[in-house]
Structure 1
Amino acid sequence: MALRFHFRYFCSFLLLFATECLIAMYVHDQFVRPYVGDMLVVVLIYCFVKTFLKMESRKVALGVLLFSYLIEFAQHLHLVALLGLKDSRMANLILGNSFEWIDMIAYTVGIAVVLIVDKKYKSGVKEKLR
C-alpha cells in the first residue's frame, strides 16, 4: 500500500458526492433515496480511498464493504442515541439511525458494481496497451 493522488478516482468521488447530495436534498421516494443512495455511497467511499491509496481493488472493496456493514450494525445498536447524538443532524446523516437488512444487499450490490467496472476498465486499458 502506497500513498498517491489519483485524479480519475478523485473526479469520480466528487461526481458521486454531488449525486448523493442531490439525492439527499431533492429525492424523497421509496427506492432511489434509500437503496440507490446506499448502493452509491459504497462506490463513493471506494473512490475516496482509491484516490489516496494505491492498493489492490479487491482489498479496498472488501474493506469498504466491511466498513459499511459495521456502520449498519451500529445503526442496529442505535449507536447515535447511545452516544447522546440523537438530535444531531450530522450524526444521523453520517451514521444513520435505522437498521435494515436490505441496506446490506444495497452495499453488496454497490461493491459488486465497483469490482465489475474496475475489472472491465483494467481489461480495456490492457487492450489499448497491446
Structure 2
Amino acid sequence: MWVFRKKYAVITIILLLVEIAIALFHFHPIVRGFLGDVLVVILLYTFLRTFLLISPVKIALGALLFAFTIEFVQILNPVEFFEIHSKILQTVIGSSFDPWDLVAYSIGFVFILLLEKIRCDVNKAKSN
C-alpha cells in the first residue's frame, strides 16, 4: 500500500514551487484565481501518488473531494471563526466560497484523468 515514487515526488515539488510563486507574485487574476486552483488538485494528486499504491482514479477522486470539502468549509468562514492570523493558513484554507473554484478543481481532475489515460496508452504501446 505504501511506496515512494521519485517521479511523482519531483512533480509535486515543482508544482508546489509554482503554487508558491503564484501566491507570492502578482500574476494576472486568472492565473492567481483560477489556474492556481486547477493546479492545486494536480498537486494533491501527485503528492498522494508519491506514497500511495492505490488506483490513480481513486487518488484523483480523493484529491478532488478534499478540494471540494475545503471550498465548502469556506462557507462557514473558518478564518474569521477561528481568528486565524497566519497569511499562509489563510491562503491554504481560503477566505470565501467561490463556485468557480469548484469548476477549476474539476478541470484539474479531468486533466489528471486525461494524463493517466495517455500514460496507460503509452505503456500499453511500449509493451506490444
Q: Deviations over 1:38-74 (max 9, x none)?
A: 0000000000000000110111111111110110011
* Bigger mean CA deviation after superposition, 52-61 or 18-27: 18-27
TM-superposed CA distance for 1:27, in Å, is 3.2
Aligned residue pairs total 128
Indicate the residue corresponding to 1:94 in structure 2. 92
Residue 109 of structure 1 aligns with an amino acid whose one-letter code is: I
TM-score by length of 2: 0.95
TM-superposed CA distance for 1:30, in Å, is 1.7
Root mean square deviation, CA, Å:
1.0
Gaps in structure 1 of 5+ consecutive residues: none
Residue from 110, 122, 125 that aligns with 2:123:
125
TM-score by length of 1: 0.94
2:59 partner SS: helix
TM-superposed CA distance for 1:114, in Å, is 0.5
Gaps in structure 2 of 5+ consecutive residues: none
Runs of at least 4 residues off by over 4 Å: none
TM-superposed CA distance for 1:28, in Å, is 3.3
TM-superposed CA distance for 1:31, in Å, is 0.4
Q: Deviations over 1:71-115 (max 9, x none)?
A: 001111101211221x22122021111110000000000010011
TM-superposed CA distance for 1:34, in Å, is 0.6
